[in-house]
Amino acid sequence: MNMELREESLTNENLEKDVTLNEAAENAAESVNVKAENVSEVVTENKPDYSAMNKSELVDAMVALLDEPVETVREAVSHIKMAFYTLHKAETEAAKVAWVAEGNDEAAFEAPEDAEELRLKDVLNQLKEKRAEFNNEQEAIRKENLAKKRAKTA
């Protein structure tokens, strides 16, 4: 009988420890979740909603990126391009549907020239040049550092 009570007592003590550990784990998990929510709030607050912008606003947003360090704008450029070409494709499809609705042949359809797309391509080329310049500067720094390292070891 004593042995059974002792085992039961030990089992209850272990359960209490388990409950304490489980509560501590839950508190830690809640803390991590709260921190993760705060981080995601900060991240989403800094990012504009490109999907809500029209093509002109998207190109203006891309122009604003020219003033930012080139190594920090890759994600924004990607999102802007995606939003822009989603709108562009929808407009082109609508024009094509209207063309066919007028009784014209679908194969003869040519998408109208888009001034905003030309502006976007111009800005993308400027960003490309800026990125190439940055990469050349970084390569020059790497070569200089390698030369210094070799000079120290020689």
Nearest-angstrom CA–CA distance, 34 and 38: 6
Residues 65/79, Cβ–Cβ less than 8 Å: no
Domain range annotation of the chain:
1-46, 49-154
Query: Mind listing the pLDDT tens digit for each residue in 138-151?
Result: 999 999 999 999 99
Query: Mind listing the pLDDT tens digit for each residue in 83-142?
Result: 999 999 999 999 999 999 999 998 999 998 999 999 999 999 999 999 999 999 999 999
- Given pLDDT bands bounded at 50, 70 and 90, which one contains residue 38? very low
Torsions phi, psi for 66 (to 5 deg): -60, -25
Task: Kindly report the pTM of this predicted structure.
Answer: 0.66
